[in-house]
Amino acid sequence: MTMPMRLCTIALTWIATAGIAASAQEPATFNFVTANSRGRIILPPGPDWASDSIMLLDDGTRPVITYQNKTTGIVLSIILFPNETGQPTSESCRDAVIRPVLDHLGGSATVVDQKKDMRTGNNGLQLALESYRIEKVGDISLQQQNEFGFYGDKSTCAEVHLSKARYTNADAAQIESALKLFKFEPGYEPTAHDYSLLGTVYFSGAHNSAAAAVYYQRALDTLPPTPENLNTRRVITDQLAMSYGISGDIDRSRKVNEAAIARDPDYPLYYYNLACADAEQGNADAAREHLQQAFDRRHNTLPHEQFPDPSSDDSLAKLKDNAQFWDLVTRISAQEKKEANK
């Protein structure tokens, strides 16, 4: 399902606060959270850190974001994941990660200078540390220093990983300074805004619609059902439906829109998304009906939001050989252009 991206003003405002997706010289901070537990890390860590990538691993439970320091070249990874160790401690989180990593490296890499430590972090919590240097992998010299820090409680582990290739002792102070930027707030309860922002970062910044769906779904589930949240709910629902559809889960995309129509029957993009789902599944009659319903409600789009041009939609184009359906698409497209030129 390849529908055009539709990020209206609300979503664009949210994404503009995230360094990954915005071009602002001084990116504002945002809350890095999981979709299934408490806690946050405020990112980015500072203006010298450029965002590099964002992923979502382990069935949507482990968000990973990486930065690189523009001056020192140090790579920083921030990871949140469920604490499944049975122990509500930072040490248990550390050991659950580091032991498998070292076991994996043992067969191919020369690992030296391994150290463990505990300290009280800037947030007053116990920070479990571990470091080692990979001298070489096989016959290739690497000299990569790795510094890990972990916070943990009964539900969540928070991990920071700092690495520097071609490490020298002169880099030690820079790594230590970067480690002090790591602050985890275990008691923070993420909001629908937090989930939506990260959903948008995954959707448009990382082009990972499956990961976006995890966060948009959580945002929709936690957004208070108040009248003042109606437009926000419409935006989140639209983005969620597209995320499911683009990632191939057409049935779930359909269910999201059908449930939304039952609550809010006047918003056109719910029907438009159904038309796209119909087209993906080869149902021209249903696609024509839903597209007409969407067009009939086109004046109910949100401020600064534009009704999509169906003639440029890759999903709808799959029914281009159906004369009745494509005639409707052509007429709607022409009417939209006519109204836009008034």
CATH number given to 66-185:
3.40.1000.10
Q: Decide if 141 contacts 133 (C-beta within 8 A).
A: no
pLDDT value for 29: 86
Q: What does the pLDDT average to over 208-216?
A: 96
Q: What mean pLDDT value characterizes the chain?
A: 90
Partners of 119 in the beta sheet?
127
The per-residue pLDDT for range 88-109, each reduced to its tens digit, is 999 999 999 999 998 888 778 8
Give the percent of the chain with pLDDT over 70. Answer: 92
The kind and range of the H/E element at 66 are strand 62-69
pLDDT value for 25: 38
Contacts of residue 204, Cβ cutoff 8 Å, sequence gap at least 6? 5, 7, 15, 21
Q: Confidence class of residue 6 from pLDDT cuts 50, 70 and 90?
A: low
Partners of 149 in the beta sheet?
129, 160
Please tell me the least confidently modeled range out of 194-198, 205-209, 228-232, 323-327. Answer: 205-209
pTM assigned to the model? 0.89
Q: Decide if 250 contacts 280 (C-beta within 8 A).
A: yes
Above 90 in pLDDT, residue 248? yes
Region of 34 (left: φ > 0; alpha: ψ -120 to 50; beta: rest) is: beta
Q: What is the C-alpha to C-alpha distance for residues 301 and 268, in angstroms, rounded to an integer?
A: 7
Region of 106 (left: φ > 0; alpha: ψ -120 to 50; beta: rest) is: alpha
Q: What is the C-alpha to C-alpha distance for residues 31 and 77, in angstroms, rounded to an integer?
A: 15
The per-residue pLDDT for range 68-90, each reduced to its tens digit, is 999 999 999 999 999 999 999 99
Beta strand pairing call for 126-137 and 140-152? antiparallel
pLDDT value for 1: 55
pLDDT value for 138: 85
Amino acid at 341: N
Asked if 66-185 and 192-340 have one fold, the answer is: no
CATH class (in words) of the domain with range 192-340: mainly alpha
The per-residue pLDDT for range 251-293, each reduced to its tens digit, is 999 999 999 999 999 999 999 999 999 999 999 999 999 999 9
Amino acid at 28: A
Q: What is the C-alpha to C-alpha distance for residues 237 and 10, in angstroms, rounded to an integer?
A: 13
Instruction: Supply the DSSP symbol for 35.
Output: S
The per-residue pLDDT for range 40-66, each reduced to its tens digit, is 999 999 889 998 999 999 999 999 999
> Would you kindly state where each structural domain of the chain is located, as residue ranges?
66-185, 192-340
The per-residue pLDDT for range 177-201, each reduced to its tens digit, is 999 999 999 999 999 999 999 999 9
Contacts of residue 293, Cβ cutoff 8 Å, sequence gap at least 6? 268, 271
Q: What does the pLDDT average to over 137-160?
A: 94
